[in-house]
Amino acid sequence: MRLVRADQLAEGDKLGRSLYTADGRLILRQGVVLNRRLIEGLKKRSLRYLMIETTEAWGADPKALKENLRDQMKDLLNLVMDTVLRGGAVPVEPVLEWSEHMSRIVMEERDLLYHFEDLLRGDANLIAHSVNVCFLSMLTAKALGYNKQRIQNVAVGSLLHDIGLFRPHDGTMLINHPQVGYDLLRQTPGVEPPALRIVMQHHEQLDGRGFPHGTRGAELSEEAQICGLCSDFDYFMNDRLADKLPCGGIEYVMSKIDTSYSYVVVRGFLKAFVPYPVGTELRLTGGLHATVVELNKGHLARPIVRLTQFGTKFNLMEHPSFMVEAVV
């Protein structure tokens, strides 16, 4: 299932969710095949996005799956942002439908991981940041053994974690945006307390040095720690003042253990993020060029490579003095 803009509907598309009027009357039932007349009628109702059934088999192409899921998140976030900017209520129904669909995919796709190349980089806008944070948060939650319902709450909370910044704001709003976002969502039916805590607490830290309320220790939810860590990581990797390597991002995250985030949460993140997937070309210490051929489980930043100049395998775990200098 995927989220599709109304102006991109095509004859033959099958409706993925039933549509209702504001007072609960059925417009179209799930499974209806759309024709030109129905599509025009939907457009006249000012429906901007709909869920459409798909039959794609993604198992053979996880990269295509991730691209499709990212596109869905972007479209959904644009819908939420446009609605909030116009002063409307948060369109929570498509968010909840998407989160149910997304959590099922995350649970079913056993080998779905987030690679360095998957990060939307060099783009400081809220949409790209929210997509990165949401994807990383869901996969971290999966690595920690969360069930489908908990992953769904992480999906909603992390996708909307910065909703408090969607409206025009001044500098003071940067500190208060978690509270603003929480206040915006807490009256919205269907948004569960764990998702609300993510929005409120994603800038808090274990040691109490976060904001907006200085929440610390056991008062800080694990789900909020997941989102906060992934947000920190994304901002670090997208620092325009320096071209960051994935291993630098991992070191940055590990430096936060027990001050900002628990060891358990950091460990989950490190299981979900693959800095150098198989096939990545690297430049190592001394100018050596190499290609990643295998990953070391539990030490994804120190893969096994094949040295281009010599054609031999080289395990970076066994040679700690050799560092990755660049991805080429």
C-alpha–C-alpha distance, residues 17 and 31, integer Å? 7
Round the CA-based radius of gyration of the chain to a whole number and report it. 21
Q: What are φ and ψ of residue 56, in 5° steps?
A: -65, 140
Amino acid 243: pLDDT = 65
Amino acid 58: pLDDT = 44
Is the pTM here over 0.75, yes or no?
yes
Instruction: Calculate helix-pair angle for 222-237, 148-159, nearest 10 degrees.
Output: 50
Summarised one tens digit per residue, pLDDT across range 105-160 is 899 887 777 776 677 665 558 999 999 999 999 999 999 999 999 999 999 999 99
Q: Are 193 and 157 a contacting pair, CB within 8 Å?
A: no
Residues 6+ apart with CB under 8 A from 63: none
C-alpha–C-alpha distance, residues 33 and 53, integer Å? 10
Summarised one tens digit per residue, pLDDT across range 149-193 is 999 999 999 999 999 999 887 777 889 999 999 999 998 999 999
Q: Are 177 and 144 a contacting pair, CB within 8 Å?
A: no
Structure token pair of residue 224: 């909020």
The parts of the chain modelled with pLDDT lower than 50 are 57-60
Q: Are 64 and 54 a contacting pair, CB within 8 Å?
A: no
